[in-house]
Structures are given as structure tokens and as C-alpha cells.
Structure 1
Amino acid sequence: MNDLVISTIAQGLLWSVMAIGVYLTFRILHIADLSVEGTFPLGAAVAAVLLEGQHSPAAAILAAGIAGMLAGAATGLLHTKLKIPALLAGILTMIALYSVNLRVMGKANVSLLNTDTVYTSLEFLHLSPNMTTFVVGLIAAVVCPALLYWFFGTEIGLALRATGNNPQMIRAMGVNTDNMILLGLVLSNGVVAVSGALIAQSNGFADVGMGVGTIVIGLASVIIGEVLFGSRSVKNALISVVLGSIVYRIVIAVVLYLGMPPNDLKLFTALLVAIALSLPLVKTRLDSRKAGI
């Protein structure tokens, strides 16, 4: 049971990095970016190919992040320069990346079972596999939000946040909102790709279809975190996303333990997100009824 708890929390920490990438577009820029379903396996594919070629795990993760940034830039350019709606731009990038990922890997699946990864590099700690995953996940879930919190305190970071909150105001102050949107999409997809690289190494393989449902998982983590832990500030919101990802993984582990068929997980996740999104409306209506009474 202890191993199951540690494994569940470790997976929640790893997936929280992807959820933070979704948060950047969904909450900061107010854009539903579907290209993450392509950049997630892109990060996994790039990392897997480099690790298979005996490159270091650090180099593989860095390259995965850069590849994700380039994919995010493609979405951003389609949206800002060609004026394609953000949702359609993300879908176009996602579709294109399916072929790109196949090109990168050369096949649909790359195994990492006999390859040195970021997890095998920590063997000197003499930890169990679950604890090793937990340590890597904890480092990623601390470093990523910390760097983003620092970034959002800079002048560019504040301009990026203002672009999502009030684009007319920040445009009147001389800021190019198209560049800010492009930057946000680049950062978001870079973070998602890094998460894909870490999770591929944890799973022991990279697969071209591993990004299916990524956006829903990310939204579930963001919404659950906001509902349970709040989002009063950027720091609080980033912490809430990490905790929301852990809670989501715990919920998934519990329903599987209770006997839910694995094939129904996507349906359950969609229902969970729908319920979480409707909670603010339900709360508002309950409050209004109480006030009327």
C-alpha cells in the first residue's frame, strides 16, 4: 500500500509539470491550446531518440524543451501572424506534430528499458524505483513553478500576465500583445514537452499516441487545484496546480482500486472536469438562494 501511495504521488508530481504548461495558456492567456497533445509526445520522442543514442538525460530533457518551444512558436505564429483562431491553430499544430513525432522516432514506439535515463542516474542514492520517481518528480514540481514565479515577477512576465487579463490596456501602454501571446505559447509548450520527456523515461517508452487526452488531464489538474486550494495569486495558483495534479492522480488510483475499467478513465476524467468547471456556477446559485431567503 505504501508503494502504491508513493507511486501515485510521484506520478502526480511528474504530471503537474504538464498541468503547469496548460495553466499558462488556459489561465494566464485565456487560450485553449490543443497543441499540447502534440508537444507532449514530441518531448517524449526527442528525449527517447537522444537517450537511445547514448546522450545524457540532461541533454535529452533540454532538447525536448527546445523542441516543444518550437512547436509552441508554430502555434503562436499561426494565431498571431496568420490570424487563425487559437483553437484551430492548436489543432493544426497537433495534427502536424503526429507526423513529426513519427519522423523523429522512425516508428510508433521507442523502448527505454535498457537505456540510461534521469532515473537510472540516481541509482547511487540506493532508492526504490518508486522513491526515485518521487525524488525526480518533486524536484521538477519545485523547480518549474519556482522559475515561473520568478519570471512572472519580471517586466516581461508582468506584461504577459496583463496581456491575458486586459489586452486593450497593455496594448495602449505600447506592448505588442502578439509577441506576448507568442511568448506564452512558447513557454507553455516547452514546459509540456519537458514533462513528456520525464514521463517517457518514467514509463520506459515513448509512444506516438501518448499525448491523447493530455489537455483534459491538464485541465482536470488546474480546475481541481483551483476549486480545492484557490488561486488568489500567481504563487498560490502554481502551488494549487501541483496539488491538483496529485489529487487527480489519487482520485484515479482510488477509482481503479474500486474496480473501474481502465477503458473508462477518459470518460471519468471528462466528467470530473465538467463537474469541477460547474462548481463556481453552482456555488453562485446557492449563495444567491441563501441571500434571497
Structure 2
Amino acid sequence: MQSILLALQGALSQGLLWAIMALGVYITFRLLNTSDLSVDGSFATGGSVAAILISNNVNPILAILAAIFSGAIAGFITGFLHTKCKIPAILSGILTQLSLYSINLRIMGRSNIPLLKYDNIFKSFSESTGINTMMSTIIIGAIIIVLVIGIMYWFFGTEIGSALRATGSNENMVRSLGVDTNYAKIIGFMIANALVAFSGALVTQSQGYADVKMGTGAIVIGLASIIIGEVLVRKGTNFALKLSAIVFGSIVYRSAVAVVLQLGLNTDDLKLFTAVLVAIALTAPVIVESSDRNKMVKSEEEQ
């Protein structure tokens, strides 16, 4: 029982850090209504940039800022390929992802960089407060999540942010109003991948190493967090609550993974478990909606 509780505590800490990545995926998947498959690459890029800088004794916070900038560049490339070169969004993301694999290897100089002997924001906070590293990760992660959601809520209420959201809903209408939808899309891709790289940098510092393959499956994890969050929150809910639901979805996903691993699931089957979980989460709303429709029809027939 104690091992499961410890695993859930770890799931909470990791769920908060990975939730930032899920918020980035939400921008392209829901707000822009497109698929950005460069997420796996930009997540690893954020981790790679942070790792190489920290291993060269750069301040961990500066390393995070550099990682965010690198993610924004990756997003710009994807957006440029999609909007200016007229390459489909999915293919643009794949091309960027493939490129980033080689770029990440160039950045790190090797496939893996250990960081256990170097300072990071979680270790520094733990040493200054006297609490354990896992709890410091939870506290810092929660603070960052609140800040990120607050900034996103503010930004997407501005003129540029509203134009970006409207572009995903009805691009033709937005274009008829004189808005440059290509510009809005590029901004969206940049913000999304900046958040993804931000998450990668935090996860790297938390786990104590960066690996060139650390982003593998990130897009699926992000989608799982979004879908689980949407299952738990009704349609029409205000924007801030939708963003909070994604964070909760990330924590639920990480908790589910932690529990099944404690129950003896082979780690090789983790990707299969994720796929099944996402499929169930996607199917659940359809089943509920169909059930509600059938009940409505029956009630009308009885009347």
C-alpha cells in the first residue's frame, strides 16, 4: 500500500510537469483544430537544450528560458512549412520531428546526458527549504501550472489570442475580417511548441538526465491528458476550467500508469496501455451521448 502511495505522489509530480506539454498540444489540437506531430521532437529539444546548458554550469532557469526559445523556433519551422510552403500540417510536423532528432543529437553531442551531479531548480528549492525533492517538484510544478494557465487565459482573451482561437473555429470567416490567418497559425505553433519544450526542460531536471528519445510518444500522452480532461468537464465550460481539466487529465493519466505498473504491468506494454486508455477516453463521450439520445427518444415515444 505504501509503495502505491509513493507511486501516486510521483505521478502527481510528473503529471504537473507533463501537463505543460499537454497544454501546448491543446493549442494546436483544439484551438487551431490541427495536428502537430512535431511535439515528440520539440519535447526532446527542450530537454536537450536544458541538459547541455546545465552540464556546462549555466543557471537552470536560464537553461529553461533557452529551452522555451528553442521550442518556439521548432514551432515556427512547422508553422512556416504549413502556411508558407503549403505542406499539410501533419506532414510539416513529421518533417520537423525528423529534423529535430538529428538536431538534438548535435546539441547534446551524444544520445544521453546525465545531470545528477549538477544543480537544478528542484534540487535548489529542496536544499533551501529542507523538504524532499519530490515534494519540491510538486510545489514548483503547481506554481508553474497556475502561472501558465493564468498567462494562457489572459493571452487568449486578447485580440491576437482571440484571432488565433477563431482561426481554428472558422478560418474563412476570420480571413474575411482582414486577419492574417497564416500569421495566427504560426504564432499558435510557436506558443504550443514553446510550452512543449518548457515541459521537456522541467522533466529533464526532474528526472536527472536528458535522452534523445525522451519525447517518444509525447503527442499521445498529451492527447490522453486532453481527452481525459474533456471527459471530466462538460462542453461550454469556461476556458480557464478547460485548461485546468487538462492538468487534471495529465495527473489522472500518470496516476493510472503508476498504479498499473505497481500491479505488475510490463513496462514494454506501457504504450499499448496508453493507446487503449486514449481509445476508451475517446469512445466514452460517444457512448454517453448515444445513451442520452436513446433515452430522449424513448421519453418522447412514451409521451
Scaled to the shorter chain, the TM-score interval is over 0.9
- Partner residue in 2 for 1:229: 233
Shift, 1:254, TM fit: 1.2
CA contact (8 A) 1:230 1:240 kept: no
How far did 1:197 drift?
0.2
SS of 2:121's equivalent in the other structure is coil
User: Aligned AA for 2:281?
Assistant: A
Question: Contact 1:230–1:236 at 8 Å: present in 2 too?
Answer: no
Q: Does 1:292 align with 2:274?
A: no
Bigger CA drift: 17-26 or 255-264? 255-264
Rounded Cα–Cα distance in structure 1 between residues aligned with 2:254 and 2:8: 10
Which sits farther off after the overlay, 59-68 or 283-292? 283-292
Residue in structure 1 matching 2:129, options 109, 125, 129: 125
Q: 2:42 aligns with which of 39, 43, 47?
A: 39
Question: Secondary structure at the residue paired with 1:206?
Answer: strand
Q: Give distance in 2, aligned partners of 1:254 and 1:197.
A: 26
Question: Residue 257 in 1 paired to residue 262 in 2?
Answer: yes
* Residue range with higher mean Cα deviation, 195-204 or 123-132: 123-132
C-alpha contact (below 8 Å) 1:35/1:93 kept by paired residues:
yes
Aligned length: 293
Q: What corresponds to 2:76 in structure 1? A: 73
Q: 2:274 aligns with which of 265, 269, 278?
A: 269
Question: Does 2:167 align with 1:163?
Answer: yes
TM-score (norm 2): 0.95
Q: Which residue of 1 aligns with 2:156?
A: 152
Q: Which residue of 2 aligns with 1:141?
A: 145
- Give CA-to-partner distance per residue, 1:22-66, whole Å, 9 cap, x none: 111101001111101000000000000110111101100000000
Q: 2:101 aligns with which of 74, 98, 109?
A: 98
Q: Secondary structure at the match of 2:210?
A: strand
When structure 1 is superposed on structure 2, of 198-207 and 131-140 the one drifting more is: 131-140
Unaligned runs of 5+ in 2: 299-303
1:204 corresponds to 2:208: yes
Q: CA deviation at 1:133?
A: 1.1
Q: CA offsets, 1:213-267, max 9 Å, x none?
A: 0000000000000101335221111001011101111111111122111111111
CA distance in 1, matches of 2:84, 2:292: 44
| Residue equivalent to 1:23 | 26
For 1:38 and 1:121, the matched residues in 2 are separated by: 28
Q: Highest CA radius of gyration, 1 or 2?
A: 2
- Cα contact 1:18–1:192 (8 A) shared by 2: yes
Task: Find the partner of 2:59 among 56, 61, 76.
Answer: 56
Distance 1:30 1:274 in 2: 19
TM-align CA RMSD: 1.0
Q: Following the alignment from structure 2 to structure 1, what is the Cα–Cα distance between the partners of residues 25 and 44?
A: 15
**Cross-structure match for 1:220:** 224
Tell me the residue number matched to 2:6. Answer: 3
Give how far 1:170 is off: 1.0
